[in-house]
Amino acid sequence: MTKSANFSVFHIRKWYLQIEDTLAGETGAPADGDPLRKIVIAASIHNPFAGRFVQDLSAWIEPSPELGREFGRRIQEAAQGRAIESYGKACLVGIDGEYEHGNALLTNPAANPIRDALGGGKSWVPSTGKRGGPGAVIDIPLAHKDALYVRSHYDTVTAQFSDGPNRDEVIVCWAFATRGRLNARLGGLKASEVKGQDGLY
């Protein structure tokens, strides 16, 4: 069933926001500095390609920057003035859709406005996705937004949506973190040493 657009060319059924603040590690060791805030912002979007193969997905890719700008606005709101150091993205595709349909909304046209909202982001955004139904769980990878070689910022945030995706929906997810793992101690490049020139260091 075709649903009328209510956000640009997209029909969005629902926006989701998940926030968690971690004040101590798994063994109870206190945070080495500020608590770690992880934020997941997601949108449940009707998939007009569900149930059929479509070669050209540009009808979704080309307007996806408008989605990116809204995700960017929402992360600024959710961060409440905190700087974002890490990001990641994912898609959860209803079972009548293809994994490729979700990926169409995670390409650079959609990602660049989010980078802009964060004040820049030099590194590629770690990504994952899968097909599933309501209640499916997805683990979203995180990495430093300006330098992939910062080991302390390799992390994951888990998201679950009790009422989606429907068979003909895609849930697009973006995840963010305000710092690296608590008490990270595996060496390597420190966040304070990032040059942010090429997305690696």
pLDDT in tens, 162-200: 999 999 999 999 999 999 999 999 999 888 888 878 888
pLDDT in tens, 72-117: 999 999 999 999 999 999 999 999 999 999 999 999 999 999 999 9
**Mean pLDDT of the residues in the chain:** 95
Q: Inform me whether the pLDDT recorded for 46 exceeds 90.
A: yes
Q: How confident is the model at residue 124 (pLDDT cuts 50, 70, 90)?
A: very high
pLDDT at position 1: 60
pTM of the model: 0.95
Tell me if 80 sits within 8 A of 33, measured CB to CB.
no
Question: What value does the mean pLDDT take over residues 111-129?
Answer: 95
Question: What value does the mean pLDDT take over residues 44-51?
Answer: 97
Question: What value does the mean pLDDT take over residues 154-164?
Answer: 97
The CATH code of the domain at 12-193 is 3.30.1330.110
Contacts of 153 (CB under 8 A, 6+ apart): 85, 86, 142, 143, 144, 177, 179, 180, 181, 191
- Domain boundary assignment for the chain: 12-193
pLDDT at position 196: 79
24 or 194, which is more confident: 24
pLDDT at position 186: 93
